[in-house]
Amino acid sequence: MTPAAVTRPVVTLVGAGPGDPELLTVKAVRAIRAATVLLVDDLVGEGVLRYARRSTRIVRVGKRGGCASTPQAFIEKLMAAEALKGERVVRLKGGDPFVFGRGGEEVEHLRKLGIEVTVVNGITSGLAAVTSLNVPLTHRDHAHGVIFVTGHAKEHGRSPDWATLAAAAAQGLTLVIYMGVAQAGHLQQGLLEGLGRSTPIAVVQHASLPHQRHAVGTLGDLAGLIEREGLGSPAIIVVGDVLQGLASLPLERGATRVA
């Protein structure tokens, strides 16, 4: 073997999209097919794994399915060890690897060890959730921008300032909130400091999957709606005037309207 043919250790972080395998990119499918080891996150749709070869070793590193969540440090070590053994390692992450996916930490860790990293985008669940309602994220009349934000207080060590975000949304920005259902009461309270009770909201659970459920209502009723409908994680909360008119459209399967 000539030195040029020696393969250098490489890990590919691949966005698996929101769940529907048809929303994978062509690049993602190619990477999954080429993998010899697949490290699979929690929210990766089962259908996506269809593209893996039979001989590929699939390691589930998520907490759904009964196991405790695998510590991030262990996942990083495992990725590095397999890549250094010469395996073609693909780290499959739900949505996009760089949207609330800790992809940044993984890239840093691998690069420090001299392992090459490539990243393949995926459709982030926030995009898929809004699109599943046939609602645009921006609209020349209602919204000139979008804020993707996490409702999870610990994500950055502190809770988002909902009142400030509400003020931004009141200026015509759509809010797309990840990991927000467990904190719905708290974020509703904060958002009401800058937005009216009648501001349209939607909650979309399991976006893009056959068992998707969603509910449409108003900000003044956000936490109540989530509770009554039994909506839970994984879900996206959307807030903003782009949702106007949604309440007057015929409802699809899995949808609930609250007057």
Minimum CB separation of residue 183 from ligand SAH in Å reads 11
Q: Between 9 and 242, name the residue whose CB sits nearer to ligand SAH.
A: 242
Query: Phi and psi dihedrals of 99, rounded to 5?
Result: -115, 105
* 79 noted as active-site residue: no
41 is catalytic: yes
E strands, the chain, in order: 10-15, 37-40, 57-60, 89-93, 116-120, 145-150, 173-178, 200-205, 213-218, 235-239, 255-257
Residue 226 has which token pair?
Answer: 């989530």
Nearer of residues 9 and 127 to ligand SAH, judged by Cβ: 127
Smallest distance, Å, CB 124 to ligand SAH? 3
- Catalytic member of 63, 77, 85, 112: 63
Sign of the torsion formed by the C-alpha atoms of 140, 176, 256 and 66:
positive
**Beta carbon nearer to ligand SAH, 69 or 198:** 69
Out of 79, 93, 179, 241, pick the active-site residue.
179
Residue 140 burial by Cβ neighbours in a 10 Å radius (0-12, 13-18, 19+): exposed
Taking the complex as a whole, the smallest distance from the CB of residue 237 to ligand SAH amounts, in Å, to: 8
Is the Cβ of residue 9 or residue 133 nearer to ligand SAH in the bound state?
A: 133
DSSP string, 73-131: HHHHHHHHHHHHTT--EEEEESB-TTSSSSHHHHHHHHHHTT-EEEEE----HHHHHHH
Active site residue 96: no
Contacting residues toward ligand SAH, per CB under 6 A: 18-19, 43, 93-96, 99-101, 124-125, 129, 178-179, 204-208, 233-236
**Could you say which of 20, 41, 96, 241 is catalytic?**
41
- Please state the closest distance from residue 184 (CB atom) to ligand SAH, in A: 12
CA atoms within 13 A on the CB side of 161: 4
Written as six digits, the tokens of 31 are 């990477």
Instruction: For ligand SAH, give the closer residue by CB, 76 or 87.
Output: 76
What are the residue numbers of the active site? 41, 63, 179
